[in-house]
Structure 1
Amino acid sequence: MNRRTVALLLVVCLTAAALPPVTADVTPLPSPEGQSPSPADRSPALVGVHPNPVAEGDVGEFLVVHVPEGVDLRDYRVCDDEGCLAPERDASGRVVVAAAPDRVRGVVDSPVVAATGDLSLANGGERLELRAGEHVVGTIRYEDAPEAETYRRSKTTERTATSTRWRWVPLGASDYDVASTRDANVTAFALPDAPDVVTETLARADERLLLAGYTLTSSRVTEALLAAHRRGVAVRVLVEGGPVGGIPRAEARVLDRLVGEGVPVRVVDGPYARYDYHHSKYAVADDRALVLTENWKPAGTGGNSSRGWGAVVRDASVADRLAATFVGDFRWRAARTWSSFREDRSFEASTPTDGSFPRQFDPATLSADRVRLLVAPDNAESGVRSLLRNASDSVDVVQMGLGGPDGPFTRELVAAAERGVEVRVLLSGTWYVREEDRALADRLNARAERGDLPLTVRLADANGAFEKIHAKGAVVDGEHVVVGSLNWNPHAARENREVALVLSGDEVGDYYGAVFASDWRGDGAVGSERVPVGALVALVAGVLVVLAVARRFEFER
């Protein structure tokens, strides 16, 4: 079983100082097709089932029922071929019905109604009936039940529309709608050109500073967090506990230092994690939302290696919604304290990155007509695919990869080209994805040539401007920009926690469009013959070991 397939059962209350108040905006899912209450049908509807909790004897099973106003839930019962469950009190709206309510309260948002009876939900699947007396008013059928998952309707995006379908989702999985605001102030920037924007944004925090990441090894970012903590800001840090390659020793040292000075740090890991990876990269500093494509490390936010995109949105509503996402993830049982997580663990050696690159793109403070906040797996795939489906003129994409020729985002790009939209895709040429990206580029370019499509795929040539492409972004019709942690493959969109922004307006489109155009052309440091730091490390590893002993490499100065 995948280490991320088992979702949480309980919510752990914060024992540290309370976070600044934020309110999560979670929209209830619709009822099943044909079961939604209407003036002509005032019966409740079965809208979810949780048959296989992580508990001996499956204690904590529950059903989800939508009850119209004015209907007495006590007049109904849920039955299978062997027994029934009868609610003990009335309730309306979206209601959880459970025989062991104390095992369910705290892990679901809906009101919990105790029930009596001898109904035992089968893990192997069965058909359940909602009955009024002997009259069947609704049914739900499920097959093999994954452990700690709930069968319910969830949003999904097909080629032409966004709809809902029944599927298993981790218990406690969020279901955020796209948050949106208009006429926002945005600071647009690119990396490695403008790393100071990151630390300056963190340094402005006066009340709250919430940092979420895949990894955290940056000493500059660490200093900014500690400085905020010392001046009384409520600082919280949340990182991934199982990054590919393991947690480096540099990160362990950083997290030890933060915890040692009293900063609450939590790590998402273990059998109760709702998502495969906590891969998002953002921070909330008071009313500012900082969203990045890069990790909190010298190669990323430090400006020492990667081409990345970033944006700071100064808007209280966007910041609050992003803070709500942070708080929800920080409070789940899967988010373990760093102190408990690190016990009896070993950490991985890592090689420092300390490249330097010319500053081609200064940050710019711009006006965005509209800002949308996307969160995966909740709404990011549908949000991006909808944007691509509505493209009418051009789509420029920069990505590590696209998840293959049949991936959902690849299909949307080809479909756009088939409509006559000019599509350009810039993929990473770094060594660990070069072969895969080259094969995809060749395949898509051949398809474009056969069909005379305005589609071109190219591997990036840094030409001294950066070491590798790590950005995850797009510019659509010159006025809609996607920037965030979302890699354009189905796993990232459907199994990871990701965060991205869609920034709309001519000014933001022009800014990121200029960065893309430069990288597409391969513009770089004129006359530069610089060898990438990664290549130097591979060639002179022995020398670096000697130097490491001599001067104890710093990851950022």
Structure 2
Amino acid sequence: MSRVAWLVAVCLLVAGVAAPALGTVGESPEPSPAESVDAHRPVQPEIIAVYPNPVADGDRGEFAVLALPNGTDLGRYELADADGSLSLPNGTVGGRVAVTAAPARVRNLTDIRVVGANGSISLANGGDRLQLDRGNETVATARYRDAPEGEIGRFDDRGAITWQPLGRTNRSVVTATGGEVRAFTLPDAPAVPVETIRDADRRILLAGYTFTSERVARELERAVDRGVDVHVLLEGQPVDGISRRQARVLDSLTETGVTVELLGGPHGRYAYHHAKYAVVDDRAVVLTENWKPAGTGGRASRGWGATVSQPRIVRGLAETFRADVDWQSARPWAEVRRGRSFERSGVANGSYPSRRAPERVPVDRTRLLVTPDNAGSAITTALDDADESIDVIQMSIDGPDQQFLRATVRAARRGVDVRILLSSAWYVEEENRRLVEHLREVAERENLPLSAKLADPGGDYEKIHAKGVVVDGDQVLLGSLNWNGESIRQNREVVLSLEGEAVGSYYRDAFEADWDEKTGRALPVGIVAGVAGCLLLATLVARRIDFGSNVGVGPDR
């Protein structure tokens, strides 16, 4: 054996030894939106929020929110500002109440209990000071400045105020135990979303970012013909604009009786309605993909999806849909399209083999997460709780300081084996390559079990659009949530957390296939550093591992 061959063999043996092994119905109670906001019960009354600048002419619908101890005699209190006061009605209450001189109007703006008061105050848009009095005693004060139109200001414990659009939900995580899900990937199983819709008897609530799938549209129209109530909710201002193809599809849907509404405009609650799911009778399908040929049509994108039937999860999705569609920024398609011009767009028409069949797999626990309400903290906690492994598949990640990426690197520093697979599509390739190079440097410097690379589809799909994570091989996170700050804090996103060995194995195997496709099994970058002196092996590794970087939010392609 030559010295070169001997050196290669030794290096490969070292790497192989060092490399980590690669693994192959009761329900908990869920508070309603109103119950979840009533959870705060202080020891004395507090002023916790103010809505001074309604969208309506003349600022009709102003209110302030009080947090009250249980058993508070409301009639003993008065809410005052510089211009007047409101006498509160008699009654024993507790929790959060919205105090206003216009209760009928305010009841249409909030799920919090509304209390009509006598008198008048003028919550000045430019700023004001409120005080809650009990007789001659002032028990609480609050001050704000420069109230944005249509936004509610929430006071923290120090009196600082944070503004956000009125009407954002405050949903708790919805949890169900037991049952099963139908797990699938795209482009392997594009029939699953269509079959789910095809079986509808009573209702279809379809939520999406964009919608250009004529195949799905025909199923919705057939459902209307069968007497099914069909309602579609989409983003009204997608990054690339509404395409001519989408306009034609939505025209056809509305003509056949489908209710189509779009969210957005100056008083929208979210930056983007980016969720991708459908509630069909007593089932629901949650996707990482758009309702378009490239996504659910199986013509381009690698995506993940799951069909669930746990009643609490399905009900939680339906409640989320209703909360969003009932908001004032939801507008009928006929109104949105009036006077608009639409953009040309290409249509994906790729053809890919079906290598992974959908499977019905048992789950130990299913959780429904939504943003901006609860998903950010829940996903960060799941990553921080990882003990063995984290596998991430994403179109892109919003830089090294992104919240979930920081948690993932923290896990690697605890010894958790981490793999991150990013898209190599042209519109994110440069940024993704830079990010992976950064992760490579961190892993080498700190000798971390952290690997990252760009995907090589190898003919199985065109590009990665999935937003998926497998934690410890038995917890799966999948949905519409991209790894960027806007998605967590500003968008409406929907994510499923699926727990159990069987469901974890299904998506872990799917990840393994994409990770190993064409490039073989990649060595963790910490091990690459350990054998960097082996020049021949380094050449081999350079050919097999594609390091690169990723950046923030691009079009949802």
* CA distance, structure 1, for counterparts of residue 160 and residue 85 of structure 2: 27
**Between Structure 1 and Structure 2, whose CA radius of gyration is higher?**
2
* Aligned counterparts of 1:231 and 1:327: Cα–Cα separation in 2: 23
2:140 to 132, 138, 141: 138
- Superposed, 1:205-216 pairs within 5 Å as 205-216=200-211
SS in 2 for 1:284: strand
Pair 1:28-2:36 in alignment: yes
Structure 1 residue 30 displacement after superposition: 6.3
Q: Which residue identity is paired with 1:374?
A: L
| Cα distance, 1:185–1:166 mapped onto 2, change above 3 Å | farther
486, 490, 494: which one aligns with 1:495: 490
The whole-number CA distance in structure 2 between the counterparts of 1:246 and 1:524 is 36
What is residue 222 of structure 2 aligned with on the other side? Answer: 227
CA–CA distance in structure 2, aligned partners of residues 105 and 480 of structure 1: 40
Whether the 8 Å contact between 1:24 and 1:325 is mirrored in structure 2 is no
Contact 1:27 1:175 (C-alpha < 8 Å) held by counterparts? no
Contact 1:67 1:91 in 2 (8 A): no
Q: Are the structure 2 counterparts of residues 307 and 484 from structure 1 closer, same or farther at C-alpha, using a change threshold of 3 Å?
A: same
Q: Deviations over 1:123-168 (max 9, x none)?
A: 344442211122121223334322211122699xxxxxxxx99632
1:392 alignment partner in structure 2: 387
1:421 and 1:282 mapped to 2: Cα distance? Answer: 32
Give the structure 2 partner of residue 411 of structure 1.
Answer: 406
Match in the other structure for 1:533: none
Question: Following TM superposition, by how much is the alpha carbon of 1:464 offset from its aligned partner in structure 2, in angstroms?
Answer: 0.9
Q: TM (normalized to structure 2)?
A: 0.84
Q: Quick check: 1:485–1:500 contact (8 Å CA) kept in 2?
A: yes
**Alignment partner, residue 509 of structure 2:** 514
Counterpart position of 2:72: 71
Pick from 270, 282, 290 the counterpart of residue 285 of structure 2. Answer: 290
Question: Greater CA deviation, 236-245 or 131-140?
Answer: 131-140
Query: Is structure 2 residue 269 aligned with structure 1 residue 264?
Result: no
Q: Aligned pair in 2 of structure 1 residues 415, 107: CA closer, same or farther (>3 Å)?
A: same
* 2:496 alignment partner, SS class: strand
Query: Aligned-pair distance for 1:177?
Result: 0.4
Matched, 1:171 2:176: no
Report if aligned partners of 2:48, 2:156 keep a CA contact under 8 Å in 1: no
Distance 1:78 1:130 in 2: 5
- Write the distance in 2 (CA, Å) between the matches of 1:53 and 1:312: 40
- Aligned mates of 2:324, 2:42 — CA distance in 1: 33
Judged with a 3 Å threshold, the aligned counterparts in structure 2 of structure 1 residues 492 and 81 are, in CA distance, closer, same or farther, namely same
Change (3 A) 1:54 1:512: same
Tell me the SS of whatever aligns to 2:37.
coil
In 1, distance between residues paired with 2:102 and 2:228?
41
CA drift of 1:117 comes to 3.7
Partner amino acid for 1:275? Y
In the alignment, is the contact (CA less than 8 A) between 2:247 and 2:342 conserved in 1? yes
- Pick the aligned partner of 1:339 from 331, 334, 338: 334
Q: Distance in 2 between matches of 1:292 and 1:524?
A: 27
Q: Once the 2 structures are TM-superposed, how far is the Cα of residue 327 of structure 1 from its aligned partner? A: 1.1
Q: Which of 361, 366, 374 does residue 371 from structure 1 map onto?
A: 366
1:65-111 CA distance string (max 9 Å, x none): 12334322121112334543322443523211112333312111123
Alignment of 1:461-476 (within 5 A): 461-476=456-471
Q: Which residue in the other structure is 1:105 paired with? A: 107
Instruction: String of CA shifts for 1:452-502, please: whole Å, max 9, x gaps.
Output: 111122111111110000000100000000010000111001101110100
Matched, 1:355 2:333: no
Per-residue displacement from partner, 1:303-352 (whole Å, max 9, x unpaired)?
00000000001222211110111111111111111111111111111112
Letter in 2 for 1:446: E
TM-score normalized by the length of structure 1: 0.84
SS in 2 for 1:478: coil
Structure 1 equivalent of residue 416 of structure 2: 421
SS in 2 for 1:211: strand
Q: Is the 8 A contact 2:267 2:329 kept in 1?
A: yes
Does the CA contact (< 8 Å) of 2:165 and 2:267 recur in 1? Answer: no
Instruction: For 1:165 and 1:409, locate their aligned partners in 2 and report how far apart those are by CA, in whole Å.
Output: 27
Q: Select the residue among 289, 312, 316 that pairs with 2:307.
A: 312
Give the C-alpha shift of residue 354 in structure 1: 0.6
Q: Which digits, 9 at most, give the CA deviation of each residue in 1:184-213, with x for residues without a partner?
A: 210000000110111111111111111110
CA contact (8 A) 2:36 2:171 kept: no
* C-alpha deviation, 1:434, in angstroms: 1.1
Q: Which runs of 5+ in 1 are unaligned?
A: 1-22, 156-163, 526-557
Relative to structure 1, is the Cα distance of residues 411 and 310 closer, same or farther in structure 2, using a 3 angstrom cutoff? Answer: same
Q: Which residue of 1 aligns with 2:45?
A: 44
Worse overlay, 104-113 or 331-340? 104-113
Shift of 1:259: 0.7
One-letter amino acid of the structure 2 residue matched with residue 491 of structure 1: E
Secondary structure in 2 matching 1:68: strand
The farther-off stretch of 403-412 and 470-479 is 403-412
Assess if the C-alpha contact under 8 Å between 2:182 and 2:360 holds in 1: yes
SS state of the match for residue 120, structure 1?
coil
What SS does the aligned partner of 2:438 have?
A: helix
Alignment CA distance shift 1:228-1:336 (3 Å): same
Match of 2:323 in 1: 328
Q: In 2 relative to 1, CA 523–203 (structure 1 residues): closer, same or farther, beyond 3 Å? A: farther
How far residue 411 of structure 1 moved from its aligned partner, in angstroms, is: 1.1
Give the conservation status (yes or no) of the 8 Å contact 1:483–1:502: yes
Amino acid at match of 1:394: S
- Counterpart of 1:203 (choices 198, 202, 218) is 198
Percent of aligned pairs with the same amino acid: 51
Contact between 2:87 and 2:119, CA under 8 Å: does it hold in 1? yes
SS of the residue corresponding to residue 305 of structure 2 reads strand
- Are residues 153 and 235 of structure 1, via their aligned partners in 2, closer, same or farther at CA, if it must alter by over 3 Å? farther
166 and 480 in structure 1: CA distance in 2 versus 1, 3 angstrom threshold? farther
Residues 347-356 or 84-93, more deviating: 84-93
Counterpart residue type for residue 92 of structure 1: V
Q: Equivalent residue for 1:434?
A: 429
Does the 8 Å contact 1:460/1:520 carry over to 2? yes
Counterpart AA for 1:87: L
- 1:193-251 CA distance string (max 9 Å, x none): 11011111111111111111011111111111111111111111111111111111111
Q: Do the aligned partners of 1:24 and 1:321 also contact (CA within 8 Å) in 2?
A: no
Task: Say if 2:91 is the partner of 1:90.
Answer: yes
Cα drift, residue 289 of structure 1 = 1.3
RMSD (Å) for aligned C-alpha atoms: 2.2
Rounded Cα–Cα distance in structure 1 between residues aligned with 2:214 and 2:460: 24
Aligned-partner Cα distance in 2 for 1:252–1:278: 18
- Aligned-partner residue type, residue 441 of structure 2: A
- The partner residue of 2:235 within 233, 240, 244 is 240
User: Which residue identity does 1:78 align to in structure 2?
Assistant: L
CA distance in 1, matches of 2:79, 2:410: 46
Q: Secondary structure at the match of 1:247?
A: coil
Q: Which amino acid aligns with 1:28?
A: S
Instruction: Please state how far the C-alpha of 1:26 moved relative to its aligned partner.
Output: 4.3
**Mapped partners of 1:181, 1:477: distance in 2:** 20
> Contact 1:463 / 1:524 at 8 angstroms: preserved in 2?
no
Structure 1 range deviating more: 52-61 or 447-456: 52-61
Rounded Cα–Cα distance in structure 2 between residues aligned with 1:206 and 1:331: 23
Question: Structure 1, residues 412-466: CA drift from partner, whole Å, max 9, x if none?
Answer: 1111111111111111111111111111111121111111111122111111110
